[in-house]
């Protein structure tokens, strides 16, 4: 490696570290993952240009059958991936993107209480009352009638929570 390239590499690394330190903590991990993925893509492109990619492709293809067994180990061995995965799932759940698998899905007391508040009902009401309250609120707040998408989604989520609870 010639000295100019080495100095340039050190300078870019220093600037990236300074940039990462200036980011808020919650954005730092996302930026690091993005940088790692970009560097990986760059390495793959450079290997393709120099003709060394077939060896790497063969290695990756040989390791693919073992990934199902290696992934849990990697998540334990690399704590930052585990933390990132947990934060991603928590963010997804906070935004209302929980996957519901059926009527046996468990909801927290707070979610159920919030659902009753949204629909304007009292605990212990019947299924018909839940459906009627949902219908009444959706007629007023549907996006096609000038309501907001957010309110319609919250009303639908409240109905699903109470009917599946």
Calculate the alpha carbon distances from 51 to 43, 61, 148 in Å.
12, 17, 55
| Average of per-residue pLDDT across 114-126 | 89
pLDDT tens profile 18-27: 998 998 888 8
| Other residues' Cβ atoms within 10 Å of the Cβ of residue 127 | 9
Cα separation, 21 vs 14, whole angstroms: 11
| Other residues' Cβ atoms within 10 Å of the Cβ of residue 77 | 10
- Structural domains in the chain, CATH included, are 3-94 (no CATH), 109-164 (1.10.287.110)
| Other residues' Cβ atoms within 10 Å of the Cβ of residue 18 | 9
Per the rule left: phi > 0, alpha: psi between -120 and 50, beta: everything else, 120 is left
CB 20 within 8 A of CB 31: yes
CB 158 within 8 A of CB 114: yes
| Average of per-residue pLDDT across 79-96 | 74
| Phi and psi at residue 95, to the nearest 5° | -80, 5
Provide the pLDDT for residue 101.
47
Provide the pLDDT for residue 104.
46
Of 42-56, 70-84, 100-114, 118-132, which one has max mean pLDDT?
A: 118-132
């Amino acid at each position: 490696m010639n000295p100019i390239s080495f100095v340039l590499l050190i300078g870019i690394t220093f600037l990236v570290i300074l940039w990462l330190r200036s980011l808020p903590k919650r954005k730092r991990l996302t930026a690091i993952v993005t940088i790692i993925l970009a560097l990986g893509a760059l390495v793959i492109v450079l290997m393709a240009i120099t003709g060394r990619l077939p060896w790497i492709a063969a290695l990756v293809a040989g390791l693919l059958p073992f990934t199902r067994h290696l992934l849990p180990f990697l998540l334990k061995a690399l704590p930052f991936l585990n933390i990132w995965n947990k934060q991603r799932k928590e963010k997804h759940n906070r935004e209302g993107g929980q996957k519901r698998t059926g009527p046996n899905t468990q909801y927290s007391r707070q979610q159920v209480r919030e659902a009753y508040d949204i629909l304007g009902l009292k605990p212990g009401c019947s299924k018909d009352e839940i459906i009627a309250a949902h219908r009444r609120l959706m007629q007023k707040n549907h996006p096609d009638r000038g309501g907001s998408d957010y309110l319609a989604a919250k009303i639908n989520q409240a109905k699903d929570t109470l009917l599946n609870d």
